[in-house]
Amino acid sequence: MKTIFMNVGFICLLIFGSCKEQKKSDNEPLKIGVQKQNATSKSSETKATVPVMLENKGIGPITSISFEPSIDRSMAEKGARLFKTKCTACHKANQPFIGPPMAGIFEKRSPEWVMNMIMNPTEMLEKDPVAKALLKAYNNTIMINQNIPESEARAMLEWFRTLK
């Protein structure tokens, strides 16, 4: 029982203790707890083992997404807040952590794949080849299904677009 409380405390510390939201001007990306990635990070390791498959849309309800040319700042701010509350226990914006970073995600994955992974992680980890490779690359740490609705997942994608 003591171990469970220690683990919960650690997760709460990760979620609430290390995230700082910084509001930027309209031309700068929104950032939450962003740190620069160093050359020896896990990202270089995962590039060799996780395929880049932009044509893969993943497994789930999302089959098509189109982005407007300009970023919806209001939606991106909502996405940043959602990411901070739901995802920072395992993900950082710009560096590998328990799970992969979100910066540059659309250079490796289709928007549909990203939304399906957010909304349908259990089935994706069981059936999708990229999700399986990511699972292996990140020490078989599963992504918990948080039952995130489409509108929230889409807001997170809009924020991911601001990350460089």
pLDDT digits (tens, 9 = 90+) for 119-137: 999 999 999 999 999 999 9
Three-point CA angle 19, 23, 26, nearest 5°? 140
Structural domain of 57: 2-24+42-160
Residue 114, CB-side half-sphere exposure with 13 Å CA sphere: 25
Measure the CA–CA gap between 100 and 41, rounded to whole angstroms. Answer: 11
More confident residue, 127 or 10: 127
Examine residue 36 and state whether it is found in any structural domain, yes or no: no
Number of domains in the chain: 1
Examine residue 31 and state whether it is found in any structural domain, yes or no: no
Task: Find the CATH number of the domain harbouring 135.
Answer: 1.10.760.10
- Reply yes or no on whether the pLDDT at 26 is more than 60: no
Examine residue 32 and state whether it is found in any structural domain, yes or no: no
Measure the CA–CA gap between 151 and 53, rounded to whole angstroms. Answer: 24
Q: Among 20, 16, 11, 7, which Cα is nearest to 93's? A: 20
Strand spans (E) along 8-155: 21-22, 31-32
Examine residue 124 and state whether it is found in any structural domain, yes or no: yes
Examine residue 30 and state whether it is found in any structural domain, yes or no: no
Q: Is the pTM of this model over 0.75?
A: no
Q: At a CB cut-off of 8 Å and minimum separation 6, what does 104 contact?
A: 163, 164
User: Tens of pLDDT along 27-63?
Assistant: 455 544 443 333 333 444 344 489 999 999 999 999 9
Examine residue 136 and state whether it is found in any structural domain, yes or no: yes
